[in-house]
Amino acid sequence: MSINLQKGQRVDLTKGNTGLNKIRVGLGWDPVQQKSSGGLFGGLFGGSGGSKGANVDCDSSVILLKGDRLAAKEDVIYFGNLKGANGAVVHSGDNLTGAGEGDDEQVVVELKSVPADYNRLVFVVNIYEAAQRKQHFGMIQNAFIRVVNVTTNEELLKYNLTDNYSDQTTLITGEIYRHENEWKFAALGTGTQDNSIGEVVRKYQS
């Protein structure tokens, strides 16, 4: 049975579940539907009349940390670098719209294959060119992060990010981290005004 998490909660992944190895971390979001009459929002939402979704391009990333710090640029896994940690972490690639049901982007992690010197995997979603496009997460709804057991296709946990993220351009959604030789998940849900994954990454550099 899947666990629905609240902001700040931490749960065990592998403790009591020693067979768990390959997991799929799904991240999802939807554009907020807005009425457009071709006026103030016409250029942003396109067309005239009807209900339109903002064309917001969200990108998911994973920052792999050693001793809570980013050791190399190759440890940032995103649409431009789809594989890391010796192949133990693999990104599904870019989704430009967020349209449709279910996960918009996915990251597969083989927990037992993550080299021992990595202690944290931080999952981030940011809006591409947010400042230039004058976009923020108030234009996004139904954002979530979830963890699925790839072997059984069972959803282990889900965290719906329900805070008001207006004026925020990056979401630190959650993290998977080592604790006494086990893996745990933390629901973070922290919004920031970082305009790119590069700005986020600098906070974790030595």
* Spatial separation of the C-alpha atoms in residues 172 and 149, rounded to whole Å: 22
Q: pLDDT at position 38, please?
A: 45
Rg of the chain in Å (alpha carbons): 17
Q: pLDDT at position 127, please?
A: 93
Q: What percent of the chain has pLDDT over 70?
A: 85
pTM of the model: 0.87
Q: Within 13 Å and on the Cβ side, how many CA atoms surround 65?
A: 20
* Spatial separation of the C-alpha atoms in residues 59 and 63, rounded to whole Å: 13
Q: What is the pLDDT of residues 100-122, one digit of tens each?
A: 568 999 999 999 999 999 999 99
Q: pLDDT at position 101, please?
A: 63
* Spatial separation of the C-alpha atoms in residues 126 and 80, rounded to whole Å: 14
Q: pLDDT at position 121, please?
A: 98
Residue 46 pLDDT exceeds 60: no
Residue 93 pLDDT exceeds 90: no
The domains located in the chain, with CATH, are 3-34+52-202 (2.60.60.30)
Secondary structure (3-state) at 73: helix
Quote the mean pLDDT of the chain.
Answer: 88
Q: What is the pLDDT of residues 113-160, one digit of tens each?
A: 999 999 999 999 999 989 999 999 999 999 999 999 999 999 999 999
Secondary structure (3-state) at 2: coil
Residue 171 pLDDT exceeds 90: yes
Residue 39 pLDDT exceeds 50: no
Over residues 24-33, the mean pLDDT reads 91
* Spatial separation of the C-alpha atoms in residues 38 and 45, rounded to whole Å: 9
Contact 98, 56 (CB under 8 A): yes
Q: What is the pLDDT of residues 3-27, one digit of tens each?
A: 999 999 999 999 989 899 999 999 9
